[in-house]
């Protein structure tokens, strides 16, 4: 069961990573004219449409991660400790705290992405999106590395 | 008659609009306060180990505040989140109930600046793992 949950958690995190990356790129490097190539089209998405999906994905992924965490604490974490993988261990510890702080950003993130967007809040909107993207990227990479060290189902 | 009805519906529309703006400003105050207070309290709860409750995953044991599990490791993460969420929720509700001017004047950048500072402090706190 744990293996299925870890895979589901990874897939949800992957969807979240895609959505938040699209959004952060489109707000920090928007395309003004018609999108010509792949990179331009990547930057040209309607970023406001992603906000609700990102909030739902963040909550579901975090809730699933919080449940799996109990198993990680008594299995995979011991592998990291006994193998002296301190950098990966530390990165995973920071991941937990980043995810917890990211939860607190969601009400403000939702508020500043409400339609119609208020131009006066543009800087806050961009900063909150960038911070959330940083959290999601760190969490994804730290989780992926920890999983690679431990191995799935071992 | 019909003119007064139209006027009445316009008036109620304006009233609804005003109350919508007011509740929106109140939520703005809540959201900014919640993000800022939660991040600050989370750092304090983490560095002082002040969880609202603790959990022993090996024995499935929940205890109030900071108590080591009777066997195996103890998890405080859920407890730190609860400590921060409750404190920030209370602060957010207080911010919502302050006069509207407070919500208008509250700098929205606090919603990301305090969390960024908390993250930097947490990375500094756990920096030892990277110099092992």
Q: Is A116 on the interface with B (CB under 8 A)?
A: no
Evaluate whether B36 touches B108 at the Cβ level (below 8 Å).
no
Residue A30, helix vs strand vs coil: coil
Structural tokens at position A10: 């990874």
Question: How far apart, in whole angstroms, are the C-alpha atoms of residue A142 and residue A135?
Answer: 11
Distance to chain A for B37, nearest Cα, Å: 9
Position with higher pLDDT, A58 vs B17: A58
Evaluate whether B128 touches B49 at the Cβ level (below 8 Å).
no
Q: Interface pTM (ipTM) of the complex? A: 0.89
pTM of the complete model: 0.88
Q: A86–B129: do the CB atoms touch at under 8 Å?
A: yes
* Burial of A114 (C-beta count, 10 Å sphere; 0-12/13-18/19+): middle
**Of the partner residues A69, A97, A124, the one whose CB lies closest to the CB of residue B112:** A124
Give the distance, in angstroms, between the CA of residue B111 and the centroid of all CA atoms in the same chain.
10
Question: How far apart, in whole angstroms, are the C-alpha atoms of residue B78 and residue B119?
Answer: 18
The residue among A68, A100, A138, A145 with the most chain B CBs within 10 A of its CB, best to mutate, is A100
Q: What is the pLDDT along chain B (132 residues), one digit of tens a residue?
A: 344 444 455 555 656 666 666 678 889 999 999 999 999 999 999 999 999 999 999 999 999 999 998 988 999 999 999 999 999 999 999 999 998 788 788 999 999 999 999 999 999 999 988 887
């Amino acid at each position: 069961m744990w293996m299925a949950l870890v895979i589901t958690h990874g897939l949800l995190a992957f969807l979240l990573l895609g959505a938040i990356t699209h959004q952060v790129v489109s707000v920090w490097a928007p395309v003004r004219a018609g999108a010509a190539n792949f990179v331009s089209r990547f930057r040209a998405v309607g970023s406001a449409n992603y906000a609700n999906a990102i909030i739902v994905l963040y909550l579901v992924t975090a809730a699933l991660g919080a449940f799996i965490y109990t198993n990680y604490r008594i299995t995979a974490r011991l592998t990291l400790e006994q193998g002296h993988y301190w950098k990966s261990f530390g990165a995973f510890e920071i991941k937990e705290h980043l995810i917890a702080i990211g939860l607190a950003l969601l009400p403000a993130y939702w508020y500043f992405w409400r339609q119609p967007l208020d131009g006066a809040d543009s800087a806050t909107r961009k900063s909150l999106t960038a911070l959330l993207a940083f959290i999601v990227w760190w969490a994804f990479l730290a989780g992926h590395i920890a999983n690679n060290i431990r191995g799935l189902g071992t | 008659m019909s003119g007064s009805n139209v006027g009445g519906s316009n008036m109620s529309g304006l009233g609804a609009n005003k109350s919508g703006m007011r509740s929106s400003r109140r939520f703005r105050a809540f959201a900014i306060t919640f993000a800022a207070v939660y991040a600050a309290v989370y750092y304090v709860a983490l560095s002082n180990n002040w969880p609202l409750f603790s959990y022993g995953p090996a024995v499935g044991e929940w205890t109030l505040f900071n108590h080591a599990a009777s066997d195996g490791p103890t998890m405080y993460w859920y407890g730190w989140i609860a400590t921060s969420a409750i404190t920030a929720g209370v602060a957010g509700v207080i911010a919502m109930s302050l006069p509207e001017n407070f919500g208008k004047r509250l700098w929205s950048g606090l919603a990301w600046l305090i969390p960024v500072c908390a993250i930097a402090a947490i990375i500094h706190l756990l920096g030892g793992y990277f110099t092992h």
